[in-house]
Amino acid sequence: MSIMKLVSAPVHIRRLSIFILLVAYLLLFSGSYICAETFTDGTGRKIELSKRPERIVSLAPNITEILFSLKLGDKIAGVTDLCDYPEEARDKPKVGWLISPNIENIISMRPDIVFATTEGNKPEIVDELERMNIKTYVLNPHNINDVINDISAIGDVTGQRKEAREITASLTRRIDSIKKKASIGKPKRVIYLISTDPVISAGPGSFIHDIILTAGGFNVLSDSPIRYPRIDMEELILKDPEVIIVPVDLIGQLQGWKKRWGGISAIKNGMVYTIDPDIVSRPGPRIIDGLEQVHEYIRNNPDINNKAGIKKKPLQ
């Protein structure tokens, strides 16, 4: 209805039109919802909510990071013992460990919704929360694109749609920039070492594998049938990676590698780098920081500043 027609309409029609416009405005710009709304989580479960959640419990560090990035810190009622980023997360009430949160603690927090993940939380925990009539939304990420979708999904469920759109647009631009740069040149052979004794790496199906490929590398364990294969040193020498990336706390164990396996290209050429494992293993917004850092390592440009605050230098 045009403005002129609205002005000349009967009073009851004008009131009804104004009410409809007001509702539309609230839905579009407040990001909340006033009627029951049904959401489908990452495992296909239906969750119906009648109001915007005001009390939220997070059962994983990556979820906590997503909630804070969406400016929901004041609505977080509880987090796991492992949730340590951002700094404010350390002060939130704790619900226990990732794989074994305390159900009684969660109930006592009277959450409007609990966010869980298949990457760490046991299905039995979700079943138990459902039996307690606690709304539980489960994330099921497998790669970088899934992380972007999860941020959008949490934005929808919590009514923070505008914030989610802004964050995902920014992260997507950064991903596209890396993809464009990574498309130039021949991919380098890369290995990410989760541990060194025994040597465990990342194969297809892991976030780290997706990061290596997206950053312009070739994962030397791309043919692994499992996500986190254990390999011996002879196999590592045969794979001859040109770039080795390890969690920063393993650097001490690698100091002896230069003598024992000095023939490996990465060690011979000084392309062994450390990284904060949280930015490549937690499927939250900081995983794009990890992507950018891995890309710089592959390009052998370790001296740029990085958002994770880790000083990047090759192993000496």
Residue 11 structure tokens:
């009073």
pLDDT score recorded for residue 58: 98
User: Per-residue DSSP letters for 258-312?
Assistant: HHHSTTSHHHHTT-EEEE-THHHHS-STTHHHHHHHHHHHHTT-TTS--TT----
> What digits encode the pLDDT tens for the residues 201-246?
999 999 999 999 999 999 999 999 999 999 988 898 899 999 999 9
Region of 44 on the Ramachandran plot (φ > 0 left; ψ -120 to 50 alpha; else beta) = left
Q: Where are the alpha helices (H) located in the chain, listed in sequence order?
A: 3-8, 11-29, 61-69, 103-108, 123-131, 144-158, 161-182, 207-214, 233-239, 251-254, 257-260, 265-268, 278-281, 287-298
pLDDT at 311 over 50: no
pLDDT score recorded for residue 12: 60
pLDDT score recorded for residue 15: 64
> What digits encode the pLDDT tens for the residues 149-185?
999 999 999 999 999 999 999 999 999 999 999 999 8
pLDDT at 30 over 70: no
Residue 202 structure tokens:
């990342």
pLDDT at 312 over 50: no
| C-alpha 223 chain-centroid distance | 25
Residue 165 structure tokens:
């759109």
pLDDT at 78 over 90: yes
Return mean pLDDT, the chain.
87
Q: How many Cβ atoms are within 10 Å of 103's Cβ, its own excluded?
A: 16
pTM: 0.83
